[in-house]
Amino acid sequence: MSVIYRDANADLSLLMDKQIAILGYGNIGRPIALNLRDSAFPVLIGNREDAYATQAYHDGFEVAAVADAVQRSNVIMLLLPDEVATQVYHQDIAPHLQQSDMLVFASGYNVAFGFIEPPPFVDVVLVAPQTVGQAVREGYVAGEGFPSFVAVGQDASGEAWPRVLAVAKALGALNQGAIEITFKMEAELDLFTQQALMPAIHSVIHSAIEVLSREGFPPEALFTSLYLSRELSYIAAKWADVGVLPSMKMHSLTSQYGTLSRIERFKEVKLDRQMEAVLGAIRAGDFAQEWATECADGYPRLESLWRRLQNMAIWRDEQRVLDMLRQNDRADS
Ligand code: NDP
């Protein structure tokens, strides 16, 4: 079983007199900066002078160049997209790290796959929210927190655990309990969700649309029945609230019987093998190498994959249905 850390396990006084740098003011950087400031900790934003910096000024923060922010801070939070963090780290962060600094990541990716290897004299820790940035802010403001993982990758000070827990508490990550993990496991789980669970769900939905279309169901009805009604997202929310089986009991007996009696038909051995292969490639670092090459080449495959999907008739039908339903919304209001 994993250790779960809660607010009572953390001592905020360990952050007293520490300057915190938030490098990157995007989806996750902005909510974390706002949460830390509301917890009464001094926050300095490290960013280039552009739209993100303008937003940070507008929110009342001091903004400095990344290298300057690192030099002036003891707790340095890297909240840049994984694919650019390596270059920024080598250029603007590594040369300015000092003894007993703490480097805080929100994703295990770059450390787990060896793209960033911090020097031995800094603590290297992880506070990884398991939700989107907006929920990180909303959860903090509501006093409810949000699900997160915490890890220590390198304990130079001998105090990395109490220090990461203090940071996690200050930004609201312990309110719901943060699960102890390793950098490697966090990165692998994240990639597995993206590369096995999401494609499998995508493929199932795609098949359902194709079958119903071929059988003559009108697009408005089939898209609404499958997911535009939000019944599917409501059910998924209930899985998180009460668990998969208890949530099934909230449906009619016809629905329960129909689902339970057909589950086995969709249980394919091939799916398990495919997921094992995806996980194997992630763990071996093959995906990380593939993605590094793709980034260095300017994303040619990502762009061609997008083009292929966008040209599919079913997704154009879906957009037409959405436009039509929105028109009805406007007419009603
Ligand atoms: P964003 O794309 O929103 O980050 C944008 C920020 O990165 C901006 O401040 C931008 O500033 C800066 N940035 C982008 N490119 C560069 C560059 N080349 N040099 C310097 N700065 C750059 O990323 P996210 O917030 O989504 O993700 C950040 C990290 O947090 C990732 O590790 C991600 O895995 C993790 N995470 C994200 C979550 C989310 O909800 N999005 C949830 C949990 C973890 P500018 O371009 O102006 O310089």
Do the Cβ atoms of 128 and 108 come closer than 8 Å?
A: yes
For the CA of 133, the nearest atom of ligand 1? 40
Residue with CA closest to ligand 1 atom 2: 81
Which residues are within 8 A (CB) of 38 and not within 5 positions of it... i.e. 6 or more apart? 140
Place of tokens 């400095």: 64
Tell me the best of 79, 89, 193 to mutate to test the pocket of ligand 1, counting ligand atoms within 8 Å of each CB and taking the most.
79
- Identify the DSSP state of 313: H
Query: What is the predicted pLDDT for the residue at 267?
Result: 86
Same domain, 144 and 197: no
Confidence of residue 332 (pLDDT cuts 50, 70, 90): low
Q: What is the DSSP code string of 177-226?
A: -EEE--HHHHHHHHHHIIIIIHHHHHHHHHHHHHHHHHTT--HHHHHIII
Mean pLDDT value across residues 278-286: 98
**Shared-domain flag, residues 131 and 115:** yes
CA distance 110 to 82: 7
- pTM: predicted TM-score of the whole model, two decimal places: 0.93
Contact 66, 88 (CB under 8 A): yes
Q: Reply yes or no on whether the pLDDT at 5 is more than 70.
A: yes
When pLDDT is cut at 50, 70 and 90, the band that residue 1 belongs to is confident
Cβ proximity of 222 and 212 under 8 Å: yes
Q: What is the mean pLDDT of the chain?
A: 96
Pocket test for ligand 1, best of 48, 80, 89 (most atoms within 8 A of CB): 80
Query: 30 C-alpha to center of ligand 1: Å?
Result: 10
201 plus 90 within the same structural domain: no
Residues 302 and 168 in one domain: no
What span, in angstroms and rounded, lies between the C-alpha atoms of 72 and 83? 25
Residue 93 lies in a domain: yes
pLDDT of residue 234: 95
Listing DSSP states for 4-17 in one string gives EE-GGG--GGGGTT
Tally of structural domains, the chain: 2
pLDDT for the residue numbered 163: 98
Q: How far is the CA of 47 from the centre of ligand 1 (A)?
A: 10
Nearest atom within ligand 1 for CA of residue 52: 47
**Does 220 lie in the same domain as 164?**
no
CA distances from 191 to 144, 198, 243 (A): 27, 10, 23
Residue with tokens 């079983």: 1
Indicate if 71 and 130 belong to the same structural domain.
Answer: yes
198 and 63 both lie in a single domain: no
Instruction: Determine if residue 70 is left, alpha or beta; phi over 0 gives left, psi from -120 to 50 gives alpha, anything else beta.
Output: alpha
Give the pLDDT confidence of 34-67 residue by residue, as tens digits: 999 999 999 999 999 999 999 999 999 999 999 9
Q: For residue 241, is it within any domain?
A: no
Three-state DSSP class for 78? strand
Q: Is 192 a member of any domain?
A: yes
Q: In the predicted model, what is the mean pLDDT of residues 297-304?
A: 98
Report yes or no on 255 lying in a domain. no
N-terminal to C-terminal alpha carbon distance within the chain: 51
Cα(243) to ligand 1 centroid in Å equals 32
Pair (16, 137) in one structural domain: yes
305 is written with which tokens? Answer: 């994959």
Model confidence band, residue 331 (pLDDT cutoffs 50, 70, 90): low
Rounded CA separation 148/144 (Å): 13
Tell me what pLDDT residue 333 has: 57
Q: Give me the helix-helix angle, 269-283 and 183-192, nearest 10°.
A: 140
Please check the confidence at residue 170 and state whether its pLDDT lies above 60. yes
Q: What gap in Å lies between CA 70 and CA 95, rounded to an integer?
A: 9
Task: Answer yes or no: is pLDDT of 330 > 80.
Answer: no
Distance 46 CA to ligand 1 centre (A): 12
Nearest CA to ligand 1 atom 23: 81
Residues 6+ apart with CB under 8 A from 112: 183, 184, 186, 187, 188
Residue 144 sits in a domain whose CATH number is 3.40.50.720
Q: In which domain, by residue range, is 62 found?
A: 4-181
pLDDT at 140: 98
Q: What single letter denotes the amino acid at residue 28?
A: I
Ramachandran category for residue 243: left, alpha or beta (phi over 0 → left; psi -120 to 50 → alpha): left
Q: Which helix (H) or strand (E) holds 283?
A: helix 269-283
Per the domain annotation, does 250 fall within a domain? no
Ligand 1 geometric centre to CA of 192 (Å): 21
Q: What is the pLDDT of residue 326?
A: 86
* SS3 per-residue string spanning 149-176: EEEEEECCCCCHHHHHHHHHHHCCCCCC
For 196, list phi and psi in degrees, rounded to 5. -120, -55
**For residue 327, what pLDDT band results from cuts at 50, 70 and 90?**
confident
Q: What is the pLDDT of residue 329?
A: 67
- What tens digit of pLDDT does each residue of 144-165 get? 999 999 999 999 999 999 999 9
- Residues 220, 298 within the same domain: yes
Boundary of a domain, candidates 118, 153, 181: 181
- Could you tell me the distance, in angstroms and rounded to a whole number, from the CA of residue 27 to the centre of ligand 1? 7
80 assigned to some structural domain: yes
- Report yes or no on 114 lying in a domain: yes
Cβ burial, residue 192 (10 Å; 0-12/13-18/19+) = middle
The helix or strand, by DSSP H or E, that contains position 123, with its residue range, turns out to be strand 123-129
Residue 95 lies in a domain: yes
Using CB distances shorter than 6 Å, the residues near ligand 1 are 24-29, 47-48, 50, 52, 79-82, 84, 88, 106-107, 128-129, 132-133
* Residues 8-18, mean pLDDT to the nearest whole number: 95
- The pLDDT-based confidence of 214 (bands split at 50, 70, 90) is very high
Residue 197 has pLDDT above 80, yes or no: yes
Q: Looking at the structure, tell me whether residues 115 and 198 fall in a common domain.
A: no
Same domain, 53 and 171: yes
Please tell me whether residues 119 and 225 are part of one structural domain. Answer: no
